Amino acid sequence: MKFSIEREDQYTILAVDEEKLDSTLSPQVKSELVTLQNEGVANVILNLEKVKYIDSSGLSALLVGNRIFTETGSFVLCGVSEHVMKLIKISQLDKVLDILPTVEESVDTVFMNALKRGLEEEGGLEE
């Protein structure tokens, strides 16, 4: 699988450089996400700009990332193509996943989520 990782202090961007996120690639994506979590990364932005097709196993990889990172940080998707977004909506995962158009907006969301978590931990923000 072709991908790139950009590590910053507060977040890591994992960019999938493949056109298909299907059963041949999704185990590698899941593995990379688990590795990032084990390394102590709290916030992941998954850049899907190059992905044009996703199947159920690819959607499963997105859910794995969402589950393991939203417990302690943020998991944000960005650069989602129209076709991939259609499949996410059909699966009703758009109600579960944090999806933004650009990397920049995703980074802003990561920082906002961190601020919100900090306030909640201090007891200063009621739900």
Domains annotated on the chain, with CATH: 3-122 (3.30.750.24)
Global pTM reads: 0.91
Rounded CA gap, 84 and 79, in Å? Answer: 10
State whether residue 46 is helix, strand or coil.
Answer: strand
pLDDT over 90, % of the chain = 87
The β-bridge relationship of strands 3-7 and 12-16 is: antiparallel
Crossing angle of the two packed helices 56-70 and 26-38, in degrees rounded to 10 = 10
What is the rounded CA–CA span in Å between residue 93 and residue 43? 19
Q: What is the pLDDT of residue 7?
A: 96
pLDDT of residue 118: 85
- Quote the mean pLDDT of the chain: 93
**How, if at all, do strands 20-21 and 12-16 pair?**
unpaired
